[in-house]
Structure 1
């Protein structure tokens, strides 16, 4: 028990709103404090209060930061069941955090594999080695791993972790998921636009340092030593801005007169070597031509400056799905592992939410969602968390309010996304190309080519030869497998002639094509069963209306998670933080009802 004093500054607001008769009690129980703070101070104050009182570590990324060290002995969820729809990262996170608080969780996944869009495709014969889009033939991974088991895999979904996605990183640290660099930007990566350099690709280094030099020339004022006419000292002082000049000279590698003469930063057409081989610089581009390279400006050159990207990101060693697998290995207080809580091939077909429970009806389905029999099974829970796409949730029979149903239908937009990848001899690491990791960019529909960030100087690697989003992805996703691969090769060889097997450049030393396009994998997430696109987007109106409705859930019994319920959609960070937020909503509701044993 605690004395009737303010429980520290974080709870001051909640305490001030306690009724007078409660504050005047000589001895407050934890139940008194938590219940009243929940009612009057809001969930944020409640969550902080529970952390301070040691009733489980409830603080979450949605409110105060990742729960680094949850106290598994808390019985806040004892005797209560939670049904979780979807075994992607968000569902696994919610199940893990709730299990630590004593809840009995069950995860229902319609697909025949867990892990959602953290999908690492490997040639190992497991459920992760194949998939099938609706209305298409199955695609089976048959990469030839001559460099050793685990050397070739395709990240069909999520693929990288920014340094500021601290929730993902802290869980990786907690679960001992080993990380390595994901090289996002190398100066030897290529830029290509139809509107520049006659459509021929140029290196990031060449373009960027030409740009720096020309901008520096514009910024720089005339240096006194380079002025031809005689001028007074006053004139010289007015014209010469020493600070700006020094900056410009360093920024653009200009000479003392402000001219772009030393071009070593932009690279060498002929590299320097031994003896008298001093090297030959690339010729500078014409500045006016660079300004016309619209797609390079808008879509390529400055991507590594975006907040969610950096020159070097991170990835788990061995594949992005190592994070989901780590969640599934975690033990619950009951002794079961999170992975044991998953029921695969269970599609929810009906949801009924009442004031005191949620009733689900499920069907046993195959990997395309087709029922394997006519029987349904029921599962009754105290709470339910849905992590699937709002548009898919809306298609399930339910008794949601009309406002909530409208939010599911119109409150969010799905974004189409496609990828193409194949195994290839590592021609990009040749002396001619010198590319070790990173992404090359093009104005064509394929948009990007990703190079592997590991396995340098192996015989083979996986090229992600297309990553298409939005409207172009909608069109691309309608193509056949063969048409997708052909388009990726045709557009990709504008960046790399080695992608053309009809030319000498496209053949290795043995006279065989570098690229095994017969082993290519393609995926269009908008066509995948149990998915409805790659991620989600919102207009301001949707955020202010439908999004807020979805965040509240239904009858304080049904809540939503998944990256759609975040401002970090399309990233694992959004999925994890939304999963913990949903956990917080469940616990907050229990405490507001005053039916938790505490103290």
Structure 2
């Protein structure tokens, strides 16, 4: 009787490793990658194999953790003195070092922190949430949208988000009713559907009995309810032309974006708490301050030369395989012997820009009933993001700028002090009298941050900053999602969501699964294969 093991061994001997891959997948012997905490490689598959992982951001940490769980020996190298990569939480006393800029030092009160990188987790990002649960990292709700926040026009006029959203709905509903009553849609909608749609539009827009929009309490009270017979009343509807004149009106749709819908989460105490959880659970924690200087593939494996940035000592490590999560624009400048097409693809990846400016402040915004969420202000700073953590405490961290793309690139040309003061002036414009409340301002320009040199790639040139999510497909993108011999690449940059940590997890799962499948197939294809690798 021919067993599956014998069959696979014969296939490997006659047709090679690729055919063994295919046969194992057909027989259902390959593990399935899942973008949640249930991901697992076959137990013991990595015994006797050594993998070096470059970079301890989310993709590197996930790769190292899952490979260790599968029995691989893992060496994790990180150039920074911390783990987390772009998940950078700045606390009191932390230096903010950027290429070409003087070092800033954060001076924050106890408990105040600034998530310079990712600051929110969508509820459908089950991979990251699953690891947080596994490592017992407490989470809290991140209030991503507040109807009490504002959209501010270029001329400084501002509307509460609730007013802009609900008055616009009222006008649209009234216009659609008029169009149907005038017969403009008779070729599009049946009489039966029209009869059903009319009452919905009345409710949708809060129209009056004549199907006209005159105002709605959804937008706020014209007169607030009080004691006795002090009845509530809506304010007057804003004219449609006034709504349309506000350049930030499209941002009233912000919370409709799937990535921004409630419920969203954040780790208690800072985003980097999840990454610290990974590091605590590694058998061999990340080697910090290890700046990679050289990468070589050999006939039998890979060799990495690195320097301890603190002591200056040079060291090298040899392994069977590599998972490289270093950003491509940084990787391109490291001495390597990648095959030509991979080297060319890596060198051609262009990264986007992103800027954040944050201040510590008394929570003046809460007196305006703003508890979390975002005001959209346009201009170089784009938005003002209010903290969700520590509601009703004395002080909080206000994000006064978060811009990306060309807007960020232009803003970063200003001196750091000017970036901070400009952001302060925008807060003053939206919240008069409170610009002076902002203290201890810091700015992070991601295109200048060492070992990152940008937030994410702009794969579809000019379409970054969210507009490329889910639709990335270029020859370089496809190529770098495959291994260059013994080197596997992983990062959020190689997912369909390059700006989200979940993408880094998905990419890491894909890379380590490919590596594991290769090791499994190789073990079965080689004479005298170890049973542990079956």
Counterpart among 8, 16, 23 of residue 32 in structure 1: 8
Alignment-derived partner of residue 344 in structure 1: 288
For residues 74-132 of structure 1, what are the alpha-carbon distances to aligned partners after superposition, in whole Å with 9 as ceiling and x for unaligned? Answer: 32211111111111111110000000111111111111222111111122x5xxx2221
Pick from 29, 32, 46: which aligns with 1:59? Answer: 32
Alignment partners' CA distance in 1, 2:7 and 2:519? 11
Report the equivalent of 1:394. Answer: 332
Residue 165 of structure 1 pairs with residue 102 of structure 2: no
SS of equivalent residue, structure 2 residue 133: helix
Question: 1:44 & 1:69 partners in 2: Cα distance?
Answer: 22
Distance in 2 between residues matched to 1:560 and 1:47, nearest whole Å: 25
Q: 1:440 and 2:375 equivalent?
A: yes
- Is the Cα–Cα contact under 8 Å of residues 20 and 521 in structure 2 kept in the other structure? no
| Counterpart pick for 2:346 among 395, 404, 408 | 408
The yes-or-no answer on 1:263 pairing with 2:216 is yes
Cα distance in structure 2, aligned partners of 1:176 and 1:139: 33
Q: Which residue of 2 aligns with 1:46?
A: 25
Match of 1:136 among 79, 82, 101: 101
2:141 pairs with 1:210: no
Show the 5 A alignment for 1:423-438.
423-430=360-367, 433-438=368-373
Q: For 1:472, which of 388, 396, 407 is the aligned residue? A: 407
Alpha-carbon distance change, 399 to 254 in structure 1, aligned in 2, over 3 angstroms: same
Shift of 1:28: 3.0
- 1:220-259 matches, within 5 Å, as 220=177, 241-259=194-212
Deviation string 1:271-322 (CA, Å, 9 cap, x unpaired) is: 332245435643322113323434422xx11111112111431111221111
Contact 1:444 1:491 in 2 (8 A): no
Of the candidates 495, 504, 515, which is equivalent to residue 575 of structure 1? 504
CA distance in 1, matches of 2:296, 2:454: 26
Partner of 1:79 in structure 2? 48
Which protein is bigger by CA-based radius of gyration? Answer: 1
1:481 is the counterpart of 2:434: no
Query: Does the CA-based 8 Å contact 2:75-2:286 persist in structure 1?
Result: yes
Q: CA deviation at 1:143?
A: 1.1
CA distance in 1, matches of 2:27, 2:239: 60
Structure 1 Cα separation of the partners of residues 449 and 139 of structure 2: 29
Deviation, 1:570, is 1.4
Q: Report the 3-state secondary structure (helix = DSSP H, G, I; strand = E; otherwise coil) of the residue aligned with 2:429.
A: coil
Aligned equivalents of 2:202 and 2:376: distance in 1?
29
Instruction: From 460, 471, 476, give the equivalent of 2:395.
Output: 460
Q: Aligned to 1:544, which of 455, 469, 474?
A: 474
Aligned to 2:452: 531
RMSD: 2.8
Q: Post-superposition shift, 1:551?
A: 1.5
Question: In structure 2, what is the Cα distance between the partners aligned to 1:248 and 1:44?
Answer: 57
User: Which stretch shifts more, 287-296 or 307-316?
Assistant: 287-296
Do the aligned residues in 1 keep the contact of 2:33 with 2:510 (CA within 8 Å)?
yes
Pair 356,396 (structure 1): closer, same or farther in 2 beyond 3 Å: same
Whole-Å Cα distance in 2 between the matches of residues 248 and 379 of structure 1?
A: 67
Whether contact under 8 Å (1:87, 1:342) holds in the other structure is yes
Q: Is the 8 A contact 1:35 1:591 kept in 2?
A: no
Question: Structure 1: where are the runs of 5+ without partners?
Answer: 1-24, 52-57, 228-236, 367-371, 502-513
Distance 1:463-1:222 versus aligned 2 partners, 3 A rule: closer
**What is the aligned partner in structure 1 of residue 259 from structure 2?**
308
1:571-594 residue CA offsets vs partner (Å, 9 max, x unmatched): 110111111211112112212323
Relative to the length of structure 2, the TM-score reads 0.88
Partner Cα separation in structure 2 for residue 403 and residue 397 of structure 1: 16
CA contact (8 A) 1:200 1:494 kept: no
TM-score, normalised to structure 1, is: 0.79
1:288 aligned partner: 241
Query: Aligned partners of 1:223, 1:169: CA distance in 2, in Å?
Result: 47
CA distance in structure 1 between the partners assigned to 2:431 and 2:6 by the alignment: 67
Give the direction of change, closer, same or farther, for the CA distance of 1:71–1:473 in structure 2 (3 Å limit). closer
Segment of structure 1 superposing worse, 185-194 or 539-548: 539-548
Residue of structure 1 in register with 2:464 after alignment: none
Aligned-residue offset at 1:363: 1.6
Counterpart selection for 1:560 from 489, 498, 519: 489
User: How much has 1:30 moved relative to structure 2?
Assistant: 7.4
Q: Which runs of 5+ in 2 are unaligned?
A: 183-189, 462-470
- Looking at structure 2, the residues matched to 253 and 328 of structure 1 have their Cα atoms a distance apart, in angstroms, of 53
2: CA distance between counterparts of 1:48 and 1:60? 16
Per-residue deviation at 1:262?
A: 4.7
1:114 aligned partner:
83
Deviations, residues 118-165 of structure 1 (Å, cap 9, x unaligned): 111122x5xxx22211222222222123xxxx3x11111011111121
Q: 1:67 to 1:60 in 2, by over 3 A?
A: farther
- Inter-partner Cα distance in structure 1 for 2:483 and 2:495: 14
CA contact (8 A) 2:83 2:276 kept: no
Q: Does 1:174 align with 2:174?
A: no
CA distance in 1, matches of 2:474, 2:39: 34
1:470 shift after superposition: 1.1
